[in-house]
Structure 1
Amino acid sequence: MFDNLSDRLSRTLKNISGKGRITEDNIKETLREVRMALLEADVALPVVKDFIAAVKERSLGQEVSTSLSPGQAFLKVVNDELVKAMGQANDALNLAAQPPAVILMAGLQGAGKTTSTGKLARYLSEREKKSVMVVSADVYRPAAIKQLETVAGQVGAEFFPSSTEQKPLDIAKAAIEHARKKFVDVVIVDTAGRLAVDEAMMSEIKTLHAGIKPVETLFVVDSMTGQDAANTAKAFNDALPLTGVILTKADGDARGGAALSIRHITGKPIKFMGIGEKLDALEPFHPDRVASRILGMGDVLSLIEEVERKVDKKKAEKLAKKVIKGKGFDLEDFREQLVQMKSMGGMAGLIDKMPGMGQVPDAAKSQIMNDKSTNQMEAIINSMTPKERSHPDLIKGSRKRRIAGGSGTEIQDVNRLLKQFKQMQKMMKKMSGKGGMMKMMRGMKGMMPPGGGFPPFGGGMR
């Protein structure tokens, strides 16, 4: 996510972070580089101008010049201004209304509105414990109604049927009335995607908005369109009182122009970002955490939340007890760890949130992030018998051939897996017995980059 901007800024800021003195000269050169990085990231020009002016003013002021390490104080200023540009804090949905609370989804065609409706329904039911109903007011495309019905089934939301013969306002009103009778907490109304900001379609959505008075009107926009996303959001906001933005396809956006421009241009907060195709790939937008990722310092808080949410605690406790008692770590346990990691978006999803990954060379990063090998390892273990999983030493020549054939891999792949498993087993052994955890931590410390790879200051770790 925002890799190009992150790489460019990390390189630029590295040069100044070690400086013992910040002068107008060395700041001038750094700010020129930062300005170029932002413009290349397709950040809107007014945003770049204000950002650079604010960083310059603060950097030449008291807080940096009197700091014990001015270079790092400068880095903190850049971090703070990135957070400010994106809106300071997460702006949560305001669902404090007489049920059902109505959410209206608006946006251009192809921005991912219907999928985002499904993702939001899942988010609200799983994390906010709300009962959710979805309805399509897109009377121009029968396929859109069918798509929403399919998505609703996948996320466990109630679907209110509609047809292309009906008027959007009639559909929405009928759905809200039905939800009221069934004591549903939230109704999400999906609308027709506009090809551009045309008068007839804008007039239709204005009528719909006035008729149903939603508590939230969310504009769904494709992150990959850069500053155009901010300009389109502004055009919509001029016609419709938007309450926030959902930024889709953020995982594929190497630039970050939309994320940095939207708040400044529209005055509206980004409330969520889509970070993948799966229906659970929707994250609340936290400006401080995103700024931390952009500056290559990871996003530990989101990582912790994800582990809390997706890791099976009972299985984790069972494994911990088994290891501490010295009962060993077998291939079944190893397979379980691979499955848990996949549920958190694989290595690519985890690496993106880890501190210090900005300093890791691309070649090494791509090796770590190879989720294909994770799937391959799982397939190899699945091809083993239960006895082989609990007694890996049994796996010799003929067994290796059978396992490789059954998993569609080569014998060297099976050997590689067994080698990685042995390393993991050794680490787990260090954890068992008295003072095991401390021993293991000391061993891991040697593998860490200088300073542990954590941010030089608290930005994004609050």
Structure 2
Amino acid sequence: MFNSLSERLGQTLKQITGQAKLTEDNIKSSLREVRMALLEADVALPVVKAFIDAVKTRAVGQEVSQALNPGQQFLKIVQSELVHVMGEQNEALDLKTQPPAVILMAGLQGAGKTTTTAKLSRFLSEREKKKVMVVSADVYRPAAIKQLETLAGEVGALFHPSDVAQKPEAIVKGAIDAARKQAVDVLIVDTAGRLAVDEAMMAEIQTLHKAVNPIETLFVVDAMTGQDAANTAKAFSDALPLTGVVLSKADGDSRGGAALSVRHITGKPIKFMGMGEKVDALEPFYPDRIASRILDMGDVLSLIEEVERKVDKQKAEKLASKLKKGKGFDLEDFREQLAQMNNMGGLSGMMDKLPGMGQLGQAAAQMQGAEKQFSQMGAIIDSMTPLERRFPDKINGSRKRRIAMGSGTQIQDVNRLLKQHKQMAKMMKKVGKKGGMQKMMRGMGGMMGGPGGGMPPGGGLPPGMGGGGKFPF
């Protein structure tokens, strides 16, 4: 996410942060580069102009001239203005009303409304502990109704049936009655989309909005459409009293134009962004964290929250207890660690939130290779018997051949996995000892180049994945 913008801004700001003194000339040169970076990221022109003017006003003033480190102060100003452009802070959903609180989802066809409806249901039930019902008012696409029913079952939300022969207003009013009877907290309404903004579509959704009077009206927009996303959002905002925007497919948006343009153009807050195809891939939008990601300062807060939410604490405690008792780290445990990492969005999903990782240009290709290797490791372990997973030393030549055939890999791949498991088992043995965790973390700090040192490209990847094997997985 934001890869191209992050890389371009990083190069520009690196030049100016090294300056002992900022002058009108070097600020002017840097701002020109920042302007070009934003335009290439498909940020809307009015947003670029307002952003550059704001940074320039602050950069040539007392704020920078009196700073101990003018270059770093300039970087701080850029970050602060990025946060301002995107809306200062996260704005949560307002659900303070007599249940059910109705949320109306609007947007163009193909923007991801139905999937986002399911993701939002999952978010509200898991994190807000709400009882959620969903209903489809898309009477033009029977497949959309069926898709929502399937997704509702997947996320554990109640589904109110609807039919293409019904009127959208009748469908939603029936859903509200059903939600009241079943003590539902939140009703999410998925509406019909069109391939483009047209009068008939706007008139229909305006009528539906008036009939339902939802407490939240969210506009779902494809982040990959760049500044077009902001323009479409503006058209909907003029027609409907939107309360917020959801950026879908933000994980595929390497430019960042939509995230930087929508708030300024519409005046409506971005409340969520979709970060993948899975039903749990919906994140609240925090402008300060996104600004840090864009400037390659990382987003450690979001990473910590994700770990707390997605890592199975019971399994982690079970493994810790096992290690403390001096029991070995077997391949079942190794497989579980790979599964936990995959649940976190894989290696690239985690690294994306760590400071300084955007500067490792060649590491991106290596990271993709590492992801494939992790997938291969899982297939190899799945091809083993329970006995082989518990006692890897029993895996002889004939067993290796059978495992390789079963997983569609080569014997050398099986050998590599066993070697990497041995390395990790040694590290885990240290963790089990008194003071072992501190020793291991100190060792890993050294591998990372010490405090603030940054990981050298390829240095943190396992052998055979483009790295020196400094980490066992």
TM over 0.5: yes
Q: Which runs of 5+ in 1 are unaligned?
A: 455-462
Indicate the residue corresponding to 2:367 in structure 1: 368
Please give the secondary structure, in 2, of the residue aligned with 1:309.
Answer: helix
Q: 1:351-373: per-residue Cα shift (whole Å, max 9, x none)? A: 211222112133x2322343222
Matches of 1:140 and 1:218, distance apart in 2: 20
Instruction: State the distance in 2 between where 1:236 and 1:294 align.
Output: 27
Hey, what's the Cα distance between the residues in 2 that align with 1:71 and 1:194?
Answer: 48
Does residue 64 in structure 1 map to residue 30 in structure 2? no
Mapped contact 2:320–2:432 kept (Cα < 8 A)? no
Deviation at 1:49, TM superposition (A): 0.7
Counterpart position of 1:430: 430
Shift of 1:450: 5.5
Confirm or deny: 8 A CA contact 2:100 2:180 kept in the other structure: yes
Counterpart residue identity of residue 131, structure 1 = K
Shift of 1:252: 0.6
Q: Which moved more, 1:426-435 or 1:330-339?
A: 426-435
Q: Distance in 1 between matches of 2:448 and 2:64?
A: 29
**Counterpart-to-counterpart distance in 1, 2:219 and 2:436:** 52
Which stretch shifts more, 372-381 or 433-442? 433-442
**8 Å CA contact 2:83, 2:291 repeated in 1:** yes
Query: What stretches of structure 2 of length at least 5 have no aligned partner?
Result: 455-473
Map of 2:185 onto structure 1? 185
Q: Could you tell me the percent identity over the aligned residues?
A: 74
> Does 2:151 correspond to 1:151?
yes
Question: Which sits farther off after the overlay, 397-406 or 224-233?
Answer: 397-406
Cα offset for 1:430? Answer: 2.7
Q: State the structure with bigger RCO (CA 8 A, min sep 6), 1 or 2.
A: 1
Larger deviation, residues 430-439 vs 269-278: 430-439
CA shift for structure 1 position 328: 2.8
Aligned-pair CA distance for 1:270:
0.6
Task: Map 1:242-281; keep pairs closer than 5 Å.
Answer: 242-281=242-281
* Equivalence for 1:92: 92
- Counterpart residue identity of residue 304, structure 2: I
Give CA deviations for 1:99-152 in whole Å, capped at 9, x if unaligned: 000000111111111111111111111111111111111111111111111111
Q: Paired residue for 2:295?
A: 295
Question: Which region of structure 1 is more displaced relative to structure 2, 428-437 or 240-249?
Answer: 428-437
CA offset digits 1:225-262 (Å, max 9, x no partner): 11111011111111110000010110111111000000
1: CA distance between counterparts of 2:58 and 2:266? 25
Q: Which deviates more from structure 2 when the two are superposed, residues 429-438 or residues 276-285? A: 429-438
Mapped to 2, the partners of 1:406 and 1:44 lie a distance apart of 52
Shift of 1:288: 0.9
Write the distance in 2 (CA, Å) between the matches of 1:61 and 1:429.
57
Per mean C-alpha deviation after superposition, the further-off stretch among 141-150 and 283-292 is: 141-150
1:229-248 matches, within 5 Å, as: 229-248=229-248
Residues 355, 453 of structure 1: 8 Å contact kept:
no
The one-letter amino acid paired with 1:110 is G
SS at match of 2:277: coil
CA contact (8 A) 2:133 2:157 kept: yes
1:315 matched residue in structure 2? 315
CA contact (8 A) 1:445 1:452 kept: no
Matches within 5 A, 1:118-267: 118-267=118-267
Q: What secondary structure does 1:188 align onto? A: strand
Matches within 5 A, 1:15-30: 15-30=15-30
- Counterpart in the other structure of 2:467: none
Contact persistence 2:120–2:282 (CA under 8 A): yes
User: What is the deviation of 1:435?
Assistant: 2.2
Letter in 1 for 2:407: S
Moved more, 390-399 or 23-32: 390-399
SS at match of 1:452: coil
Q: Which amino acid aligns with 2:69?
A: S
State the alpha-carbon separation in 2 of the partners of residues 382 and 407 from structure 1: 8
Matched residue of 1:446: which SS? helix
Q: Is the 8 A contact 1:356 1:453 kept in 2?
A: no
Whether contact under 8 Å (2:3, 2:358) holds in the other structure is no
Superposition TM-score, scaled by structure 1 size: 0.95
Instruction: List 4+ stretches of structure 1 deviating above 4 A.
Output: none
The aligned counterpart of 1:4 is: 4
Cα distance in 2 between the residues matched to 1:83 and 1:99: 34
Task: Give the Å deviation of 1:453.
Answer: 5.5
Q: Which residue of structure 1 lines up, in the alignment, with residue 43 of structure 2? A: 43
Distance 2:83 2:113 in 1: 26
The answer (yes or no) to whether the contact 2:352–2:358 under 8 Å persists in 1 is no
Structure 2 residue aligned with 1:396: 396
Between the aligned partners of 1:391 and 1:120, the Cα distance in structure 2 is 43
Instruction: Determine the C-alpha separation between the residues in 2 that align with 1:222 and 1:61.
Output: 38
For residue 429 of structure 1, report the CA deviation from its aligned partner: 2.6
Aligned to 1:412: 412
Q: Which amino acid aligns with 2:107?
A: G
Pair 1:354-2:354 in alignment: yes
Structure 1 letter corresponding to 2:306: E
CA contact (8 A) 1:100 1:184 kept: yes
Answer with 389-398 or 275-284: which moved more.
Answer: 389-398
RMSD, aligned CA? 1.4
Moved more, 395-404 or 371-380: 395-404
Separation in 1, partners of 2:449, 2:89: 30
In structure 2, distance between residues paired with 1:367 and 1:228: 33
Residues 432-447 of structure 1 correspond to what in structure 2 (within 5 A)? Answer: 432-447=432-447
Residues 159-210 of structure 1, C-alpha deviation per residue, up to 9 Å, x if partnerless?
A: 1111111111111111101111111101111111022221122111111111
Provide the TM-score with structure 2 as the length reference.
Answer: 0.93
Confirm or deny: 8 A CA contact 1:3 1:254 kept in the other structure. Answer: yes
SS at match of 2:452: helix
Letter in 2 for 1:342: N
Q: Do the aligned residues in 2 keep the contact of 1:270 with 1:285 (CA within 8 Å)?
A: yes
User: Could you tell me how far apart the structure 2 residues matched to 1:371 and 1:448 are?
Assistant: 20
